[in-house]
Amino acid sequence: MNRLGLASMDRRSVGVVMGLLSAACFGTLAIFGKLAEDVGLATTTLLTFRFILGAGLLWVGLVLSGRAELLGTWDRRVALALGVLYAFFTGFYFWGLLFLSAGLTGLVFYTYPVYVYVLAVWLLDERVSRYKVGALLLALSGVGLILGGGSNAVDFVGIVLVVLAALGLAGYIIGSRAALATADSDAFAGTALVGTALSFLVFSTGSGRLGLPSGLDQWLVVLGIATIGTALPMFLYISALDRIQASHASVLGTAEPLVTVVLGILVLEESPTLLLLVGGALILSGVLIIQADAGAEQNLT
């Protein structure tokens, strides 16, 4: 193999590692949410500081890597608007986390690629595929199996909140797809995160719910979620997209809920039920089929 081939392989390998690390970092969000509960840190304070610090750190990374630039007026407005949407579904996610275990929250939230496909068919005229339809039914049956585990196994309100969060992320992704036809992806992600930070700052101050974290434990949770759960995975993800296809990065994202489940067991001592494991396997299988079929379509075009 010539030097160009080796360089290309190394570039893809770095992209794969970045994608996996990004997914693993995002998989810590539910864990930090539960740790915040344990140390008495209010969710509003946690999320406000998470996005203010996370947005600042992401822009520092973009500047240092020479990838920071300002968007045009229209693209900037779209990015900020989607940042507000990001704030809404993040709120639903952490609200749902109050009712569910970290592992279950991660698995139910990871149904979002299913909703992305539905919205893409509806709004972007994406081709209907029998494989994707079957995968959709497979993933949703996994959610149904988890819900059917009985009132002692799950909280229906929590499931609804996390599904709403997944729907919000799907809308964010669809909106970003349309906007990135003209906007730079790095600047768009950074600007959207600023919109999210501003949304939480306005809400928390306006509602009188913003406080300062107190004590080392609370500050460690805030710094952890801002760096490991926000700035670092976003920077790694957009860096990975410079090296591998978006469909490939999406498949690597399957690691996210698995990391959440494993960390929930190891860090929070959660005990997954058989129905949770089987339902989670169905969800992940459905998502993998959807992502693999999308990747095959991209390779043919």
The 8-class DSSP code of residue 229 comes to I
pLDDT at 129 over 80: no
Mean pLDDT of the 53-59 span: 94
| Contacts of range 125-128, beta carbons closer than 8 Å, 24 or more positions apart | 127/297
Task: Give how far the C-alpha of residue 38 lies from the chain's centroid of Cα atoms, to the nearest Å.
Answer: 23
Percent of the chain at pLDDT exceeding 70: 83
Q: How much is the pLDDT for 6?
A: 42
Q: How much is the pLDDT for 147?
A: 64
pLDDT at 187 over 60: yes
Longest dimension (CA), the chain: 63
| Mean pLDDT lowest among 57-71, 102-116, 241-255, 259-273 | 241-255
Strand residue runs (E) in 169-233: none
The helix (H) or strand (E) run that includes residue 53 is helix 43-64
Percent of the chain at pLDDT exceeding 90: 37
Higher pLDDT, 234 or 152: 234
Closest CA to 80 of 166, 199, 163: 199
Domains of the chain, residue spans: 3-300
Q: How many CA atoms lie within 13 A of 57 on its CB side?
A: 20
Q: How much is the pLDDT for 124?
A: 63
Q: How much is the pLDDT for 51?
A: 96
pLDDT band at 28 (very low <50, low <70, confident <90, very high): very high
pLDDT band at 9 (very low <50, low <70, confident <90, very high): low
pLDDT at 49 over 80: yes
The 8-class DSSP code of residue 148 comes to T
pLDDT at 99 over 50: yes
Quote the mean pLDDT of the chain: 82
Q: How much is the pLDDT for 153?
A: 53
